[in-house]
Amino acid sequence: MKANRKYRLSKDNQAQVGIGTLIIFIAMILVAAVAAAVLIQTSGVLQQKAQKTGKASTQEVSSNVDVDSIEGWRGGTQSSKSAADVFSDELYRLDLRCSLKVGSSPVDMNQAVITITDGTTTNDLRYIEGSLVTA
């Protein structure tokens, strides 16, 4: 009797709805993956630009020069070095001995500005074509 059994196909539309939902889900995952890739690439480019800008600004601001020694001479009214000797308030000679730090690039002295101060008075000195000029 089992051989004579007839099976009926039922009209079931639920499988078609499931496939449509699956297609939409996969499309959403693909869109999210593309958006994530764009964000990651953009952040990488921005990081590289920030590093370049940081290096450039550090080179502009930081000093590659070590000051080895500074000596200044001021004139006195007497030739002796006694306590009665009165020295001038002005320097007539200033020697700066500087050297480059290890691994630093050459420094253009025409762009260097030296600021000298005694706490109240400030002078900016610039080296222009072999001579020192008060800025």
Encode pLDDT of 59-108 as tens digits. Answer: 666 667 888 898 888 776 655 555 556 677 777 788 888 888 877 778 77
Q: Domain limits at 46?
A: 15-62
* Whether 69 and 57 share a structural domain: no
More confident residue, 43 or 131: 43
Nearest to 86 by CA among 99, 73, 77, 75: 77
pLDDT of residue 36 exceeding 90, the answer is: yes
Check: CB of residue 105 under 8 Å from CB of residue 64.
yes
Check: CB of residue 115 under 8 Å from CB of residue 124.
yes
Confidence (pTM)? 0.41
User: How much is the average pLDDT of 1-12?
Assistant: 67
CA distance 76 to 84: 10
Structural domains of the chain, count: 2
Q: With respect to residue 9, please indicate whether it lies within any of the assigned structural domains.
A: no
The per-residue pLDDT for 27 is 96
CA distance 88 to 134: 19
**Amino acid at the residue 2:** K
